[in-house]
Amino acid sequence: MYCPDEYKNNPLAMQAWKEGYEAGLDQGQADTYGMTAIIGIVFLVLVLAILSGCSDTYRYPCQDPSNITAKECKPPACYADETCTEYLIDVPNETKS
């Protein structure tokens, strides 16, 4: 049985030639599925790493409910830069100054 020269240096093509087209094709698809799984796992790890870097922070200190009574969040100190708590969050009427 004659084997074409271009198949001799390609193991997958050689296997397809020896065992038939479907057997070689199945091996190629199995390799593709394995690579897809590896890429998927790497992508998942990257997404989890990015999301683990997130943290809860406030853009302005006066947005933090624990700072409502802080000096820099009370008028007149906060009027100039408009960072008063009343401007940044909805505060119930009894805590407004």
Dist. CA 31–CA 34, nearest whole Å: 5
pLDDT of 42 reads 95
More confident residue, 3 or 53: 53
Give the pLDDT confidence of 42-67 residue by residue, as tens digits.
999 999 988 887 777 888 888 888 88
DSSP 8-class letter at 74:
S
Of the pLDDT bands very low, low, confident and very high (cuts 50, 70, 90), residue 22 is low
Q: What is the mean pLDDT of residues 62-74?
A: 86
| Mean pLDDT calculated for residue range 69-94 | 80
Closest to 44 in 3D by CA, of 55, 33, 52:
52
Distance of CA 1 to CAs 4, 65, 81, Å? 10, 83, 87
pLDDT at 29: 57
